A and B are shown apart, each in its own frame.
Chain A
Amino acid sequence: VIIIVEVDSEVPLYQQIRDRVVEGIANGELRAGDPLPSTRQLAADLSINFHTVNKGYDTLRAEHLLRLNRKSGAVVQRDPTSGPPDGDYVDSWSHRARTLLGEAIAQGMPPSDVIGQCRNIVAGFQEGTPE
Protein backbone atom coordinates (compact mmCIF):
# COMPACT_ATOMS: atom_id res chain seq x y z
CA VAL A 1 0.00 0.00 0.00
CA ILE A 2 1.16 3.55 -0.72
CA ILE A 3 1.08 5.77 2.34
CA ILE A 4 0.72 9.44 1.45
CA VAL A 5 0.91 12.05 4.19
CA GLU A 6 0.32 15.78 3.88
CA VAL A 7 3.01 17.70 5.74
CA ASP A 8 1.19 20.97 6.51
CA SER A 9 -2.21 19.41 7.18
CA GLU A 10 -4.23 20.21 10.32
CA VAL A 11 -4.49 16.44 10.82
CA PRO A 12 -1.41 15.30 12.77
CA LEU A 13 1.02 13.09 10.86
CA TYR A 14 0.53 10.04 13.13
CA GLN A 15 -3.22 10.29 12.56
CA GLN A 16 -2.68 10.43 8.79
CA ILE A 17 -0.54 7.28 8.92
CA ARG A 18 -3.24 5.55 10.98
CA ASP A 19 -5.95 6.74 8.54
CA ARG A 20 -4.08 5.51 5.44
CA VAL A 21 -3.59 2.05 7.00
CA VAL A 22 -7.27 1.86 7.98
CA GLU A 23 -8.27 2.74 4.40
CA GLY A 24 -5.78 0.20 3.05
CA ILE A 25 -7.42 -2.52 5.16
CA ALA A 26 -10.92 -1.35 4.15
CA ASN A 27 -10.22 -1.51 0.41
CA GLY A 28 -8.44 -4.86 0.58
CA GLU A 29 -4.90 -3.64 -0.20
CA LEU A 30 -3.90 -4.85 3.27
CA ARG A 31 -5.13 -8.20 4.59
CA ALA A 32 -4.89 -9.91 7.95
CA GLY A 33 -1.36 -11.29 8.35
CA ASP A 34 0.24 -8.76 5.95
CA PRO A 35 3.39 -7.17 7.39
CA LEU A 36 4.01 -3.41 7.56
CA PRO A 37 7.48 -1.82 7.59
CA SER A 38 9.18 -1.28 10.94
CA THR A 39 8.63 2.18 12.46
CA ARG A 40 12.18 3.21 11.58
CA GLN A 41 11.88 2.06 7.98
CA LEU A 42 8.56 3.80 7.39
CA ALA A 43 9.83 6.94 9.15
CA ALA A 44 12.93 6.92 6.92
CA ASP A 45 10.87 6.47 3.76
CA LEU A 46 8.64 9.38 4.77
CA SER A 47 11.61 11.46 6.09
CA ILE A 48 9.84 11.99 9.43
CA ASN A 49 10.58 11.24 13.09
CA PHE A 50 10.12 7.58 14.00
CA HIS A 51 8.21 8.49 17.18
CA THR A 52 5.49 9.82 14.87
CA VAL A 53 5.18 6.46 13.11
CA ASN A 54 5.31 4.73 16.51
CA LYS A 55 2.35 6.76 17.67
CA GLY A 56 0.40 5.94 14.50
CA TYR A 57 1.11 2.21 14.89
CA ASP A 58 0.18 2.38 18.60
CA THR A 59 -3.17 3.91 17.71
CA LEU A 60 -3.80 1.06 15.25
CA ARG A 61 -2.82 -1.49 17.89
CA ALA A 62 -5.28 0.02 20.37
CA GLU A 63 -7.95 -0.38 17.68
CA HIS A 64 -7.02 -4.08 17.26
CA LEU A 65 -6.07 -3.48 13.62
CA LEU A 66 -2.34 -4.04 14.08
CA ARG A 67 -0.30 -6.53 16.07
CA LEU A 68 3.08 -5.26 17.21
CA ASN A 69 5.84 -7.43 18.55
CA ARG A 70 9.56 -7.28 18.69
CA LYS A 71 10.15 -10.38 16.62
CA SER A 72 7.78 -10.15 13.66
CA GLY A 73 7.34 -6.36 13.67
CA ALA A 74 4.01 -4.84 12.68
CA VAL A 75 1.40 -7.21 11.23
CA VAL A 76 -2.15 -6.43 10.14
CA GLN A 77 -4.42 -8.13 12.67
CA ARG A 78 -7.79 -8.12 10.96
CA ASP A 79 -9.56 -7.27 7.70
CA PRO A 80 -13.20 -7.18 6.51
CA THR A 81 -13.27 -10.99 6.27
CA SER A 82 -12.14 -11.56 9.86
CA GLY A 83 -15.72 -11.57 11.16
CA PRO A 84 -17.89 -8.98 12.94
CA PRO A 85 -16.33 -6.26 15.12
CA ASP A 86 -15.93 -6.96 18.82
CA GLY A 87 -18.00 -5.75 21.73
CA ASP A 88 -19.05 -2.15 21.80
CA TYR A 89 -17.19 -1.13 18.62
CA VAL A 90 -20.44 -0.38 16.73
CA ASP A 91 -21.62 1.91 19.51
CA SER A 92 -18.46 3.98 19.53
CA TRP A 93 -18.39 4.11 15.73
CA SER A 94 -22.02 5.33 15.42
CA HIS A 95 -21.21 7.95 18.01
CA ARG A 96 -18.47 9.38 15.78
CA ALA A 97 -20.52 8.88 12.60
CA ARG A 98 -23.32 10.86 14.20
CA THR A 99 -21.09 13.89 14.52
CA LEU A 100 -19.66 13.57 10.99
CA LEU A 101 -23.09 13.07 9.33
CA GLY A 102 -24.57 15.80 11.55
CA GLU A 103 -21.95 18.19 10.16
CA ALA A 104 -23.18 17.56 6.60
CA ILE A 105 -26.82 18.07 7.60
CA ALA A 106 -25.92 21.25 9.51
CA GLN A 107 -24.08 22.58 6.44
CA GLY A 108 -27.25 22.04 4.41
CA MET A 109 -26.47 18.87 2.45
CA PRO A 110 -29.76 17.16 1.51
CA PRO A 111 -30.14 13.88 3.47
CA SER A 112 -30.42 11.91 0.23
CA ASP A 113 -27.04 13.28 -0.89
CA VAL A 114 -25.49 12.36 2.45
CA ILE A 115 -26.74 8.78 2.11
CA GLY A 116 -25.67 8.68 -1.55
CA GLN A 117 -22.12 9.79 -0.62
CA CYS A 118 -21.96 7.15 2.10
CA ARG A 119 -23.07 4.48 -0.36
CA ASN A 120 -20.42 5.55 -2.90
CA ILE A 121 -17.62 5.51 -0.34
CA VAL A 122 -18.55 2.06 0.96
CA ALA A 123 -18.94 0.75 -2.62
CA GLY A 124 -15.49 2.20 -3.39
CA PHE A 125 -13.92 0.18 -0.58
CA GLN A 126 -15.63 -2.99 -1.81
CA GLU A 127 -14.32 -2.46 -5.33
CA GLY A 128 -10.88 -2.06 -3.86
CA THR A 129 -10.21 1.37 -5.34
CA PRO A 130 -8.26 3.67 -3.03
CA GLU A 131 -10.03 6.99 -2.24
Chain B
Amino acid sequence: MTTAEAIAIIVVIMAALTGVLLLLPKMARPTLPFGVRVPEIHTDDLVITTATRQYYRWLVVTMAVVTVVLVALVLVVPAPVVVSSAAFAALAAWFVPYLSARRLVLDAKHTESWFEGTRQTVAADTTWRTSPLPYPWKWTLPAILAAVATLIVGIVVYPSLPDRIATHVGLNGPDEFTDTTVWSAFSLVGVQFLLTALLLGIVWVILRSKPDLAASDPKSSAHEYRRYAMAMAKSVLVLAFGMNVTMLLAALVVWDVLPATMVWIVVGIVPTLATAGIVVAVAIRTGQSGHRLHAATTTESATTTDRDDDAYWIAGLIYRNSDDPALWVPKRFGGVGFTVNVARPAAWILIGAIVAITIGALIFAALA
Protein backbone atom coordinates (compact mmCIF):
# COMPACT_ATOMS: atom_id res chain seq x y z
CA MET B 1 0.00 0.00 0.00
CA THR B 2 1.50 3.32 -1.03
CA THR B 3 1.27 6.44 1.15
CA ALA B 4 -1.17 8.05 -1.27
CA GLU B 5 -3.41 4.95 -1.18
CA ALA B 6 -3.30 4.86 2.62
CA ILE B 7 -4.27 8.54 2.85
CA ALA B 8 -7.13 8.00 0.39
CA ILE B 9 -8.43 5.01 2.40
CA ILE B 10 -8.20 6.94 5.69
CA VAL B 11 -10.11 9.91 4.23
CA VAL B 12 -12.84 7.59 2.87
CA ILE B 13 -13.17 5.70 6.18
CA MET B 14 -13.32 8.92 8.20
CA ALA B 15 -15.84 10.57 5.84
CA ALA B 16 -18.11 7.48 5.93
CA LEU B 17 -17.91 7.21 9.73
CA THR B 18 -18.58 10.93 10.19
CA GLY B 19 -21.63 10.59 7.95
CA VAL B 20 -23.02 7.69 9.99
CA LEU B 21 -22.29 9.39 13.33
CA LEU B 22 -24.01 12.58 12.14
CA LEU B 23 -27.20 10.53 11.61
CA LEU B 24 -27.34 9.20 15.18
CA PRO B 25 -29.43 11.98 16.81
CA LYS B 26 -32.13 11.54 14.14
CA MET B 27 -32.16 7.74 14.57
CA ALA B 28 -32.66 7.78 18.35
CA ARG B 29 -36.11 7.96 19.88
CA PRO B 30 -37.14 11.59 20.63
CA THR B 31 -37.55 10.56 24.29
CA LEU B 32 -33.92 9.33 24.39
CA PRO B 33 -31.71 12.23 23.20
CA PHE B 34 -28.06 11.24 23.73
CA GLY B 35 -29.19 8.24 25.79
CA VAL B 36 -30.96 10.37 28.41
CA ARG B 37 -34.57 9.43 29.19
CA VAL B 38 -36.74 12.51 28.75
CA PRO B 39 -40.50 12.96 29.25
CA GLU B 40 -42.42 13.52 26.01
CA ILE B 41 -43.33 17.11 26.93
CA HIS B 42 -39.63 18.04 27.03
CA THR B 43 -38.55 16.47 23.73
CA ASP B 44 -38.80 19.83 21.93
CA ASP B 45 -37.01 21.84 24.64
CA LEU B 46 -34.42 24.36 23.51
CA VAL B 47 -31.64 22.59 25.44
CA ILE B 48 -32.07 19.47 23.28
CA THR B 49 -31.86 21.49 20.06
CA THR B 50 -28.77 23.23 21.45
CA ALA B 51 -27.18 19.92 22.47
CA THR B 52 -27.88 18.42 19.03
CA ARG B 53 -26.34 21.41 17.20
CA GLN B 54 -23.32 21.27 19.49
CA TYR B 55 -22.99 17.52 18.79
CA TYR B 56 -22.98 18.15 15.01
CA ARG B 57 -20.39 20.96 15.26
CA TRP B 58 -18.09 19.15 17.67
CA LEU B 59 -18.34 15.89 15.75
CA VAL B 60 -17.23 17.50 12.48
CA VAL B 61 -14.34 19.30 14.22
CA THR B 62 -13.19 16.19 16.16
CA MET B 63 -13.32 13.97 13.10
CA ALA B 64 -11.38 16.55 11.05
CA VAL B 65 -8.68 16.65 13.75
CA VAL B 66 -8.49 12.82 13.90
CA THR B 67 -8.20 12.65 10.10
CA VAL B 68 -5.32 15.16 10.07
CA VAL B 69 -3.52 13.27 12.86
CA LEU B 70 -3.95 9.91 11.06
CA VAL B 71 -2.72 11.34 7.77
CA ALA B 72 0.33 12.77 9.56
CA LEU B 73 0.94 9.37 11.24
CA VAL B 74 0.99 7.59 7.86
CA LEU B 75 4.22 9.44 7.12
CA VAL B 76 5.99 7.99 10.22
CA VAL B 77 4.22 4.73 11.20
CA PRO B 78 3.67 1.76 8.79
CA ALA B 79 0.56 2.61 6.75
CA PRO B 80 -1.43 -0.65 7.37
CA VAL B 81 -1.24 -0.10 11.15
CA VAL B 82 -2.65 3.42 10.82
CA VAL B 83 -5.38 2.38 8.37
CA SER B 84 -6.56 -0.53 10.51
CA SER B 85 -6.75 1.63 13.64
CA ALA B 86 -8.56 4.54 11.94
CA ALA B 87 -12.04 3.29 12.85
CA PHE B 88 -11.05 2.75 16.51
CA ALA B 89 -9.55 6.24 16.71
CA ALA B 90 -12.71 7.75 15.23
CA LEU B 91 -15.00 5.89 17.66
CA ALA B 92 -12.84 6.87 20.64
CA ALA B 93 -12.93 10.51 19.54
CA TRP B 94 -16.74 10.30 19.12
CA PHE B 95 -17.07 10.24 22.93
CA VAL B 96 -16.10 13.94 23.05
CA PRO B 97 -19.15 15.29 21.17
CA TYR B 98 -21.42 12.53 22.53
CA LEU B 99 -20.63 12.93 26.22
CA SER B 100 -20.67 16.72 26.14
CA ALA B 101 -24.06 16.86 24.40
CA ARG B 102 -25.33 14.25 26.84
CA ARG B 103 -24.08 16.36 29.75
CA LEU B 104 -26.14 19.35 28.57
CA VAL B 105 -29.36 17.30 28.47
CA LEU B 106 -28.64 15.54 31.79
CA ASP B 107 -27.98 18.85 33.58
CA ALA B 108 -31.23 20.39 32.32
CA LYS B 109 -33.17 17.24 33.24
CA HIS B 110 -31.88 17.25 36.81
CA THR B 111 -31.92 20.98 37.57
CA GLU B 112 -35.45 21.34 36.18
CA SER B 113 -36.66 18.00 37.67
CA TRP B 114 -38.31 16.89 34.44
CA PHE B 115 -39.72 13.69 35.92
CA GLU B 116 -41.32 15.29 38.99
CA GLY B 117 -45.06 14.66 39.14
CA THR B 118 -45.12 12.31 36.16
CA ARG B 119 -46.62 8.81 36.10
CA GLN B 120 -43.74 6.61 35.01
CA THR B 121 -45.00 3.55 33.18
CA VAL B 122 -43.74 0.57 31.22
CA ALA B 123 -45.90 -1.13 28.60
CA ALA B 124 -45.74 -4.60 27.06
CA ASP B 125 -47.84 -6.06 24.26
CA THR B 126 -48.66 -9.68 25.12
CA THR B 127 -49.47 -10.52 21.48
CA TRP B 128 -45.82 -9.82 20.53
CA ARG B 129 -45.06 -13.09 22.37
CA THR B 130 -48.26 -15.05 21.86
CA SER B 131 -48.52 -14.41 18.10
CA PRO B 132 -44.92 -13.59 17.21
CA LEU B 133 -43.77 -12.48 13.78
CA PRO B 134 -43.20 -15.50 11.51
CA TYR B 135 -39.60 -16.10 10.43
CA PRO B 136 -39.36 -14.89 6.80
CA TRP B 137 -37.93 -18.19 5.48
CA LYS B 138 -38.53 -17.27 1.84
CA TRP B 139 -36.19 -14.30 2.21
CA THR B 140 -33.35 -16.60 3.28
CA LEU B 141 -33.44 -18.48 -0.06
CA PRO B 142 -31.39 -16.01 -2.19
CA ALA B 143 -28.53 -16.01 0.36
CA ILE B 144 -28.58 -19.80 0.75
CA LEU B 145 -28.80 -20.37 -3.00
CA ALA B 146 -25.83 -18.04 -3.63
CA ALA B 147 -23.73 -20.02 -1.11
CA VAL B 148 -24.84 -23.38 -2.54
CA ALA B 149 -24.12 -22.16 -6.09
CA THR B 150 -20.59 -21.22 -5.00
CA LEU B 151 -20.12 -24.66 -3.46
CA ILE B 152 -21.31 -26.42 -6.64
CA VAL B 153 -19.05 -24.32 -8.90
CA GLY B 154 -16.18 -25.08 -6.51
CA ILE B 155 -16.77 -28.83 -6.69
CA VAL B 156 -16.91 -28.65 -10.50
CA VAL B 157 -13.71 -26.59 -10.95
CA TYR B 158 -11.67 -28.11 -8.08
CA PRO B 159 -10.10 -30.99 -10.11
CA SER B 160 -8.84 -28.53 -12.73
CA LEU B 161 -7.41 -25.91 -10.33
CA PRO B 162 -3.67 -25.08 -10.69
CA ASP B 163 -1.22 -26.14 -7.93
CA ARG B 164 -1.23 -22.68 -6.39
CA ILE B 165 -4.17 -20.26 -6.00
CA ALA B 166 -4.40 -16.61 -5.01
CA THR B 167 -5.21 -15.74 -1.39
CA HIS B 168 -5.03 -12.00 -1.86
CA VAL B 169 -5.92 -9.79 -4.81
CA GLY B 170 -4.48 -6.29 -4.75
CA LEU B 171 -5.10 -3.36 -7.05
CA ASN B 172 -2.65 -4.85 -9.55
CA GLY B 173 -4.15 -8.34 -9.58
CA PRO B 174 -3.34 -11.39 -7.41
CA ASP B 175 -0.25 -10.80 -5.25
CA GLU B 176 -0.28 -13.60 -2.63
CA PHE B 177 -0.57 -17.32 -3.35
CA THR B 178 -0.82 -20.59 -1.44
CA ASP B 179 -0.88 -24.31 -2.24
CA THR B 180 -4.20 -25.58 -3.54
CA THR B 181 -5.91 -27.76 -0.92
CA VAL B 182 -9.57 -28.36 -0.11
CA TRP B 183 -9.11 -25.88 2.78
CA SER B 184 -7.59 -23.08 0.74
CA ALA B 185 -9.85 -23.60 -2.28
CA PHE B 186 -13.10 -23.72 -0.29
CA SER B 187 -12.28 -21.20 2.46
CA LEU B 188 -14.59 -18.59 0.91
CA VAL B 189 -17.44 -21.12 0.76
CA GLY B 190 -16.87 -21.83 4.47
CA VAL B 191 -17.03 -18.12 5.24
CA GLN B 192 -20.25 -17.86 3.21
CA PHE B 193 -21.98 -20.58 5.22
CA LEU B 194 -20.77 -19.24 8.59
CA LEU B 195 -21.83 -15.70 7.71
CA THR B 196 -25.24 -16.88 6.45
CA ALA B 197 -25.80 -18.81 9.69
CA LEU B 198 -24.76 -15.76 11.73
CA LEU B 199 -27.09 -13.38 9.85
CA LEU B 200 -30.00 -15.86 10.07
CA GLY B 201 -29.37 -15.95 13.84
CA ILE B 202 -29.36 -12.14 14.01
CA VAL B 203 -32.73 -12.11 12.23
CA TRP B 204 -34.09 -14.50 14.84
CA VAL B 205 -32.86 -12.14 17.61
CA ILE B 206 -34.55 -9.17 15.89
CA LEU B 207 -37.88 -11.00 15.59
CA ARG B 208 -37.85 -12.14 19.23
CA SER B 209 -36.35 -8.97 20.70
CA LYS B 210 -37.78 -6.89 23.52
CA PRO B 211 -39.84 -4.01 22.09
CA ASP B 212 -39.46 -0.62 23.79
CA LEU B 213 -42.99 0.72 23.57
CA ALA B 214 -43.65 4.44 24.04
CA ALA B 215 -45.69 4.92 27.22
CA SER B 216 -47.66 7.76 25.64
CA ASP B 217 -49.06 5.54 22.88
CA PRO B 218 -48.19 1.86 23.44
CA LYS B 219 -50.70 0.53 20.92
CA SER B 220 -49.39 2.31 17.81
CA SER B 221 -45.86 1.91 19.17
CA ALA B 222 -46.36 -1.89 19.25
CA HIS B 223 -47.64 -1.79 15.67
CA GLU B 224 -44.61 0.26 14.55
CA TYR B 225 -42.24 -2.12 16.33
CA ARG B 226 -43.68 -5.04 14.36
CA ARG B 227 -43.19 -3.22 11.05
CA TYR B 228 -39.67 -2.19 12.09
CA ALA B 229 -38.63 -5.71 13.18
CA MET B 230 -39.91 -7.30 9.97
CA ALA B 231 -38.32 -4.63 7.74
CA MET B 232 -34.96 -4.99 9.51
CA ALA B 233 -35.16 -8.80 9.40
CA LYS B 234 -35.79 -8.82 5.65
CA SER B 235 -33.10 -6.26 4.88
CA VAL B 236 -30.52 -8.24 6.89
CA LEU B 237 -31.40 -11.30 4.77
CA VAL B 238 -31.00 -9.19 1.62
CA LEU B 239 -27.58 -8.12 2.95
CA ALA B 240 -26.68 -11.80 3.46
CA PHE B 241 -27.51 -12.37 -0.21
CA GLY B 242 -25.39 -9.38 -1.30
CA MET B 243 -22.39 -10.53 0.74
CA ASN B 244 -22.69 -14.08 -0.58
CA VAL B 245 -22.77 -12.82 -4.17
CA THR B 246 -19.62 -10.78 -3.49
CA MET B 247 -17.93 -13.91 -2.12
CA LEU B 248 -19.20 -15.94 -5.08
CA LEU B 249 -17.52 -13.49 -7.47
CA ALA B 250 -14.35 -13.44 -5.32
CA ALA B 251 -14.26 -17.26 -5.39
CA LEU B 252 -14.66 -17.20 -9.18
CA VAL B 253 -11.64 -14.88 -9.40
CA VAL B 254 -9.61 -17.12 -7.05
CA TRP B 255 -10.58 -20.20 -9.09
CA ASP B 256 -9.58 -18.39 -12.28
CA VAL B 257 -13.10 -18.65 -13.72
CA LEU B 258 -13.18 -14.87 -13.91
CA PRO B 259 -10.10 -12.78 -14.78
CA ALA B 260 -8.50 -11.01 -11.80
CA THR B 261 -8.91 -7.59 -13.36
CA MET B 262 -9.87 -4.30 -11.75
CA VAL B 263 -13.31 -4.49 -13.42
CA TRP B 264 -14.27 -7.73 -11.66
CA ILE B 265 -12.90 -6.57 -8.32
CA VAL B 266 -15.10 -3.47 -8.49
CA VAL B 267 -18.12 -5.43 -9.77
CA GLY B 268 -17.57 -7.91 -6.92
CA ILE B 269 -17.88 -5.25 -4.22
CA VAL B 270 -21.08 -3.77 -5.69
CA PRO B 271 -23.59 -6.39 -4.34
CA THR B 272 -22.34 -5.95 -0.75
CA LEU B 273 -22.30 -2.15 -0.95
CA ALA B 274 -25.73 -2.02 -2.60
CA THR B 275 -27.41 -4.33 -0.08
CA ALA B 276 -25.68 -2.58 2.84
CA GLY B 277 -27.14 0.62 1.37
CA ILE B 278 -30.60 -0.99 1.55
CA VAL B 279 -30.10 -1.81 5.25
CA VAL B 280 -29.05 1.79 5.97
CA ALA B 281 -31.99 3.19 3.96
CA VAL B 282 -34.48 0.96 5.81
CA ALA B 283 -32.91 1.91 9.16
CA ILE B 284 -33.17 5.62 8.32
CA ARG B 285 -36.80 5.16 7.30
CA THR B 286 -37.84 3.26 10.44
CA GLY B 287 -35.54 4.83 13.05
CA GLN B 288 -34.72 2.93 16.23
CA SER B 289 -37.64 0.63 17.15
CA GLY B 290 -39.69 2.08 14.29
CA HIS B 291 -40.35 5.45 15.93
CA ARG B 292 -39.95 7.24 12.60
CA LEU B 293 -42.93 5.29 11.22
CA HIS B 294 -45.09 7.10 13.77
CA ALA B 295 -47.83 9.06 12.00
CA ALA B 296 -50.19 10.25 14.72
CA THR B 297 -49.10 13.08 17.00
CA THR B 298 -51.82 12.61 19.60
CA THR B 299 -50.67 11.33 22.98
CA GLU B 300 -52.97 9.49 25.34
CA SER B 301 -51.92 11.41 28.41
CA ALA B 302 -49.52 14.28 28.93
CA THR B 303 -48.58 13.12 32.45
CA THR B 304 -47.79 9.53 31.47
CA THR B 305 -44.10 9.14 30.64
CA ASP B 306 -41.71 6.32 29.98
CA ARG B 307 -39.98 5.03 33.08
CA ASP B 308 -36.84 7.00 33.94
CA ASP B 309 -34.40 4.10 33.59
CA ASP B 310 -31.17 6.14 33.26
CA ALA B 311 -29.77 4.38 36.35
CA TYR B 312 -29.59 1.09 34.42
CA TRP B 313 -27.58 2.64 31.56
CA ILE B 314 -23.87 3.36 31.96
CA ALA B 315 -23.10 6.48 29.87
CA GLY B 316 -26.38 5.77 28.04
CA LEU B 317 -24.60 2.97 26.16
CA ILE B 318 -24.19 -0.10 28.39
CA TYR B 319 -27.26 -1.73 29.96
CA ARG B 320 -27.00 -3.39 33.37
CA ASN B 321 -30.21 -4.47 35.08
CA SER B 322 -30.06 -7.68 37.13
CA ASP B 323 -33.86 -7.76 37.52
CA ASP B 324 -34.45 -7.81 33.78
CA PRO B 325 -34.36 -11.36 32.32
CA ALA B 326 -33.83 -9.91 28.81
CA LEU B 327 -30.44 -10.53 27.18
CA TRP B 328 -30.99 -8.40 24.05
CA VAL B 329 -32.38 -4.89 24.50
CA PRO B 330 -32.83 -2.03 22.01
CA LYS B 331 -29.91 0.39 21.98
CA ARG B 332 -30.58 3.85 23.39
CA PHE B 333 -28.19 5.84 21.23
CA GLY B 334 -26.10 4.50 18.42
CA GLY B 335 -28.49 4.08 15.53
CA VAL B 336 -30.76 1.12 14.97
CA GLY B 337 -30.16 -2.21 16.68
CA PHE B 338 -29.60 -4.01 19.93
CA THR B 339 -27.18 -4.28 22.81
CA VAL B 340 -26.85 -6.81 25.63
CA ASN B 341 -27.82 -6.68 29.29
CA VAL B 342 -24.40 -7.10 30.92
CA ALA B 343 -26.08 -8.28 34.14
CA ARG B 344 -26.91 -11.55 32.32
CA PRO B 345 -24.21 -14.26 32.39
CA ALA B 346 -25.11 -15.08 28.76
CA ALA B 347 -23.92 -11.58 27.81
CA TRP B 348 -20.42 -12.38 29.13
CA ILE B 349 -20.36 -15.75 27.37
CA LEU B 350 -21.23 -13.88 24.17
CA ILE B 351 -18.61 -11.15 24.73
CA GLY B 352 -16.04 -13.82 25.67
CA ALA B 353 -16.80 -15.76 22.49
CA ILE B 354 -16.38 -12.64 20.32
CA VAL B 355 -13.06 -11.74 22.03
CA ALA B 356 -11.83 -15.36 21.71
CA ILE B 357 -12.73 -15.52 18.01
CA THR B 358 -11.04 -12.15 17.36
CA ILE B 359 -7.83 -13.14 19.18
CA GLY B 360 -7.92 -16.57 17.54
CA ALA B 361 -8.25 -15.01 14.09
CA LEU B 362 -5.36 -12.60 14.81
CA ILE B 363 -3.08 -15.44 16.01
CA PHE B 364 -4.10 -17.57 13.02
CA ALA B 365 -3.35 -14.65 10.65
CA ALA B 366 0.02 -14.01 12.36
CA LEU B 367 1.04 -17.70 12.09
CA ALA B 368 -0.11 -17.98 8.45
Contacts and interface: CB of A to CB of B under 8 A. Distances in A.
A9 B312 CA distance: 20
Interface string B187-220: 0000000000000000000000011010100110
B321 interface: yes
A48 B219 contact: no
B298 interface: no
A2 B323 contact: no
Contact of B121 (A5, A37, A44): A5
A50 interface: yes
Contact of A7 (B122, B324, B325): B122
Contacts of A2: 123-126, 213, 218-219, 222
A123 interface: no
A34 interface: yes
A49 B322 CA distance: 8
Main secondary structure of the interface of B (DSSP, over half): mixed
Give the one of B119, B122, B307, B309 with max A CB within 10 A.
B122
A43 interface: yes
Contacts of B111: none
A10 interface: no
A48 B323 contact: yes
**In which size bucket is the chain A interface?**
20 to 34
Interface in A1-25: 1-9
Contacts of B127: 1
A43 B312 CA distance: 16
A101 interface: no
B324 A44 contact: yes
Interface string B312-333: 1000000001011110000000
Give the one of A7, A45, A46, A48 with max B CB within 10 A.
A45
A41 B129 contact: yes
A45 to B, nearest CB: 4
Contacts of B121: 4-7
Contacts of A3: 123-126
Contacts of B129: 37-38, 41-42, 45
B120 interface: yes
Main secondary structure of the interface of A (DSSP, over half): mixed
A36 interface: yes
A4 B324 contact: no
A44 B325 contact: yes
A40 interface: yes
Contact of B210 (A6, A8, A36, A45): A45
A35 interface: yes
Nearest to B118: A8
B170 to A, nearest CB: 48
B118 to A, nearest CB: 9
B130 A6 contact: no
A34 B130 CA distance: 9
A35 B130 contact: yes
A6 B121 CA distance: 4
Nearest to B129: A37
B122 A42 contact: no
B321 A4 contact: no
A46 B124 CA distance: 6
A40 B121 CA distance: 19
Nearest to A131: B300
A117 to B, nearest CB: 20
Given A35-B130, A41-B129, A45-B129, A4 B123 contact: yes
What 5 A-B pairs are tightest by C-beta distance, nearest first?
A: A37-B129, A44-B326, A45-B124, A49-B323, A4-B123
7 contacts: A2-B125, A4-B215, A6-B119, A44-B210, A46-B122, A47-B324, A47-B326
Given A5-B123, A9-B119, 11 more contacts: A3-B124, A7-B307, A8-B120, A36-B130, A37-B126, A37-B129, A45-B124, A45-B125, A47-B309, A47-B326, A48-B323
